[in-house]
Chains A and B, each alone.
Chain A
């Protein structure tokens, strides 16, 4: 039984989340305040839904304390115009976000994706990763599309494998720059965007409408399979 902790101050939104998650077979625990949520998080939930507009503190306080003892996925519930808070919370270790208002299908798809990622991470790592008609052989460091080999530069390959390693999760610009370019490149967002564009032109059927190397505007990127 999957245990989900909801930290959200509006009772009606909590009710909607509970109804949706219970229809999925999850057990749900609710908290209307951050301190109550922190206390409840000690019981070891499998997933946390965290509202960013709580009256008694911000998401960063929660993530810091929670990540010290659990790697369970955290999905942020945010409103538009909260980009900076959202990015800071993702940088601090949250896994994904939903923008209010959202429907049940969207919510459940995100919850399932995070839970699946969690199970997959427990299993032995697959040496071959597929998306669309692209095959990435991580052992042989080779990439092919529809059977034809694709040449990637070392940085393009590093970028691709970092996204693959976190498939399904939102990675912020800063997280990617730090991993692929090193800590000195924090301000080179345009370089990252140009490289993602090049990867798309090499790997996506329609680079202007990517289906796998997906843009999370103002936040970062997500690999979708």
Chain B
């Protein structure tokens, strides 16, 4: 895993360096252009009625702007270039770097010093400002994330607690001694089952919110798919009672890297949908195989299949279950799709990238 990553990272770093180099060259070119532009404007338009002292000011302004917009290095270049251009175009003899009046040497020295200092100060101020902006932005993002997390977790507590109480209390009525008379017993059962499926829906919604809104880190571990298939079937228990489930995992299926709790949720939702939308007694199939560089897992039923014109619209509960599956699978870098199988029945398949599983710690062959 790590060894395959290294070349990619290196290539990217080299790319970044190339990019940075190119933009730096443009910054220096910009500094040169700015100084030439100032010199041209001053020479062609202003020189006849503006004092040379004010032309020095124009050059200083140019250095300051270069520092502010293009940074420290270009400002340094602009400072030296400005002094040179000023000497070349505006000091007797014109169009020569020769200096006849020693007074001008003082002008150059002061001009260079002021240009260097303002340039560096402007560049530093600009860097600091940008740093503060980034820090501020990061802090606001973290704050928003924290707020979202705390809203989500208090919402989850406040929604789940009364539902847990409802399921439990209704169940005490169902199992009361002596039993309730038939009509009330039926009501108690209905209350319990409805509260149960509402709780299930709330769980799906909260998980969907957590997956799509926040940046919930996946708890990725390498593991056999078989284990999670078994756990999902066991968890569903009574729901699957009316349907024989046949598990067909291709032999030699490698370990896959996934979040066990979330993937069990995917398989659980798909099995639940299959069981609830097909006639009792019809079989449900869970299959998995390697296909190119992904593992393809599918849950197939023997019912009427998806309605031909259903498109993306699904009955709400089934749609919610599939949405959370979709979100979980794409968080793992896979894709999920649904179709009607060639043998009839609805089939939902998803992929997981294969990657390179770590070696299993084998024991020395027992004597």
* Chain A interface residues toward B at CB < 8 A: 10, 12-13, 15-17, 19-20, 23, 53, 79-81, 83, 100-105, 107, 153-155, 181, 185, 188-191, 193-194, 196-197, 206-210, 214-215, 217-218
Contact = CB atoms under 8 A, between A and B. Distances in A.
B260 A217 contact: yes
B169 A16 contact: yes
B168 A104 contact: yes
B255 A153 contact: no
28 contacts: A10-B165, A12-B169, A15-B165, A15-B169, A53-B161, A79-B160, A79-B164, A81-B210, A100-B163, A101-B163, A101-B166, A101-B167, A105-B171, A107-B168, A185-B361, A190-B222, A190-B255, A191-B360, A191-B361, A193-B224, A196-B227, A197-B224, A206-B247, A208-B230, A209-B247, A215-B228, A217-B261, A218-B261
B272 to A, nearest CB: 15
Contacts of A214: 234
B363 A154 contact: yes
Contacts of A13: 161, 164-165, 168
A194 B203 CA distance: 30
A210 to B, nearest CB: 6
A170 B206 CA distance: 26
A72 to B, nearest CB: 23
B221 interface: yes
Place the interface of chain B in its size category: 35 or more
Interface class of chain B by DSSP: helix
B366 interface: yes
Interface centre among B165, B206, B249, B261, by most chain A C-beta atoms within 10 angstroms, is B165
A209 B231 CA distance: 8
Contact of A105 (B162, B175, B227, B249): B175
B281 interface: no
B85 to A, nearest CB: 65
Nearest to A210: B230
B199 interface: yes
Given A10-B161, A104-B171, A208 B221 contact: no
A162 to B, nearest CB: 15
A197 B360 contact: no
A68 B260 CA distance: 33
B196 interface: yes
B226 A197 contact: yes
With a 10 A CB-CB cut-off, give which of B164, B219, B228, B255 has the most chain A CB atoms. B164
B326 interface: no
A53 B156 CA distance: 11
